[in-house]
């Protein structure tokens, strides 16, 4: 990329864009009016402060910039015919933790039984870690994700499972993102095994009261071996009564009632969605036909889990064909998906779940925004947050075509460049 002028603040015009994914049907200059990703070729985009001010064809840039800001931009950057996409929106991560579970992964990969504790291993390490140690690990993972094009992150608690440790987890997460989820109902902690309802009482009472001020969302792992639908409903309704939005982990390990529960409670997202009945798919689809636009339940797919655990991949094609809004997220966690790479999620979605490249890129950007009920991210059009990724490739197809290759060249978040050219 070639920078023509440079100023630390102000308006930046990126031009020489070979392919610009906007995710805004009807945006000026889009090739295909029926394409929901609304690609503009030979494009330019103007960033003014932390917002997008203008998008269109490069040939129209002079007039567009004049109309948008009434002056020349402070900085112009030629991206050299590269592709530009919205910043990735990773709507499902677990980044507040200590330790790792590499031995567990190695045993699983070798087909050997492993009984060292799974999630509870991470709980033990997290409880023992200092605030500074957890903060350092969190910062490392956030920076790692940003370098791979992630500009919006949701972060869950769930590895503390005491009032003090869950409160600490959401408080530390809030230091790096507004999208904080209280997941006290991740699993029942070892000290309360056999007393599950007592733990649910704690989650719905003292723990929720301590965590709600720093959280935007409440979540629960509604699955055999975790929490029953009735227990999950208690947690979610208590969280909603405390002013938190609803999210659900469900239908990962087998069929269950989690998807129906999520839709019935108006959850923003139900995540995993590996084992779905026809009724589950129909319920998810019908949630998007409500009278209130943008309030349906997103099916968030987490293909990094299936890569790590060798479980069946979810069927995205079935969901999309039914009219369900789908998101992709990393589920970055130390046990079942220790990756923060949204480009990898796009590649897996295309290769393993039946998505097209366009659908996968949209799911990893606009889909994640829908899962967080955000209208300011996941798209590139006037008024959107100035979050974008320049790929070291002529088209977004390379994200799936060249899996594992570091294709993120530059990242802008809120109008500031995070990841300069190598």
CB 324 within 8 A of CB 299: yes
Q: Which pLDDT band, with edges at 50, 70 and 90, does 395 fall under?
A: very high
Asked if the structure places residue 165 within a domain, the reply is yes
Which is more confident, 125 or 295?
125
Asked if the structure places residue 162 within a domain, the reply is yes
Confidence (pLDDT) at 313: 98
Residues 177-195 have pLDDT tens digits of 999 999 999 999 999 999 9
Supply the range of the domain harboring residue 143: 88-371
Same-domain check for residues 327 and 345 = yes
Same-domain check for residues 325 and 391 = no
Q: Which of 64-68, 154-158, 279-283, 417-421 has the lowest mean pLDDT?
A: 417-421
Residues 162-180 have pLDDT tens digits of 999 999 999 999 999 999 9
Q: What is the tally of structural domains in the chain?
A: 2
Same-domain check for residues 72 and 161 = no
For 332-357, what is the mean pLDDT?
97
Confidence (pLDDT) at 58: 97
Same-domain check for residues 126 and 21 = no
Q: Which pLDDT band, with edges at 50, 70 and 90, does 364 fall under?
A: very high
Same-domain check for residues 333 and 201 = yes
Instruction: Report the chain's mean pLDDT, rounded to a whole number.
Output: 94
pLDDT at 26 over 50: yes
Residues 114-160 have pLDDT tens digits of 544 588 889 999 999 999 999 999 999 999 999 999 999 999 999 99
CB 150 within 8 A of CB 161: no
CB 392 within 8 A of CB 407: yes
Distances (CA, A) of 321 to 106, 255, 373, 393: 37, 20, 22, 29
For 312-320, what is the mean pLDDT?
98
Count of Cβ atoms closer than 10 Å to residue 245 Cβ: 19
Q: Which residues of 140-155 are buried (b: 16+ CB within 10 A; e: fewer)?
A: ebbeebbebbbbbbbb
Same-domain check for residues 395 and 349 = no
Asked if the structure places residue 422 within a domain, the reply is no
Same-domain check for residues 53 and 112 = no
Phi/psi region, residue 80 (left: phi>0; alpha: psi -120 to 50; beta: rest), is: left
Asked if the structure places residue 339 within a domain, the reply is yes
Q: Which of 110-114, 152-156, 246-250, 290-294 has the lowest mean pLDDT?
A: 110-114
Distances (CA, A) of 154 to 197, 383, 397: 28, 22, 26
The pTM score is 0.95
Same-domain check for residues 159 and 277 = yes
Q: Which pLDDT band, with edges at 50, 70 and 90, does 308 fall under?
A: very high
Same-domain check for residues 393 and 312 = no
Same-domain check for residues 284 and 303 = yes
Confidence (pLDDT) at 113: 63
Same-domain check for residues 82 and 92 = no
For 225-231, what is the mean pLDDT?
95
Question: Cβ contacts of residue 153 below 8 Å, gap of 6+?
Answer: 90, 93, 95, 142, 145, 176, 177, 179
Asked if the structure places residue 316 within a domain, the reply is yes
Same-domain check for residues 75 and 123 = no
């Amino acid at each position: 990329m070639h920078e023509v002028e440079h100023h630390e603040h102000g308006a930046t015009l990126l031009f020489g864009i070979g392919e610009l994914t906007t995710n805004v049907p009807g945006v000026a200059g889009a090739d295909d009016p029926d394409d929901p990703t609304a690609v503009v070729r030979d494009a330019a985009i103007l960033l003014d402060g932390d917002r997008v001010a203008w998008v269109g064809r490069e040939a129209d840039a002079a007039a567009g910039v004049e109309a948008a800001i009434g002056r020349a931009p402070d900085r112009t950057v030629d991206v050299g015919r590269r592709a530009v996409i919205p910043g990735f929106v990773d709507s499902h991560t677990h980044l507040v933790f200590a330790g790792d579970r590499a031995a567990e992964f190695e045993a699983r990969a070798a087909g050997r039984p492993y009984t060292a504790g799974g999630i509870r291993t991470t709980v033990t390490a997290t409880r023992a870690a200092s605030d500074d140690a957890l903060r350092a690990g969190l910062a490392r993972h956030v920076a790692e994700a940003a370098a791979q094009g992630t500009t919006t992150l949701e972060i869950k608690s769930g590895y503390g499972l005491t009032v003090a440790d869950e409160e600490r987890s959401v408080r530390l997460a809030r230091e790096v993102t507004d999208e904080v989820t209280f997941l006290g109902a991740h699993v029942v902690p070892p000290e309360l095994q056999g007393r599950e309802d007592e733990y649910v009482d704690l989650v719905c009472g003292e723990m929720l009261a301590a965590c709600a001020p720093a959280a935007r969302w409440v979540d629960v792992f509604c699955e055999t071996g975790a929490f029953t639908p009735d227990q999950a409903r208690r947690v979610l309704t208590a969280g909603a009564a405390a002013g938190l939005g609803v999210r659900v982990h469900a239908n990962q390990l087998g069929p269950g009632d989690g998807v129906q529960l999520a839709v019935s409670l108006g959850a923003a997202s139900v995540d995993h969605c590996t084992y779905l009945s026809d009724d589950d798919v129909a319920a998810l689809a019908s949630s998007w036909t409500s009278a209130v636009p943008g309030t349906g339940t997103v099916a968030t797919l987490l293909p990094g889990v299936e890569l790590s655990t060798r479980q069946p991949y979810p069927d995205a094609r079935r969901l999309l064909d039914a009219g369900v809004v789908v998101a992709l997220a990393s589920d970055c966690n130390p046990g079942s998906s220790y990756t923060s790479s949204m480009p990898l999620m796009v590649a897996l979605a295309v290769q393993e779940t039946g998505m097209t490249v366009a659908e996968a890129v949209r799911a990893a950007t606009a889909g994640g925004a829908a899962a967080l009920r955000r209208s300011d991210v996941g798209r590139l059009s006037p008024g959107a947050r100035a979050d974008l990724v320049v790929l070291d490739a002529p088209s977004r197809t390379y994200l799936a075509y060249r899996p594992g290759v570091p294709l993120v060249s530059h990242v802008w978040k809120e109008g500031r460049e995070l990841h300069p050219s190598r």
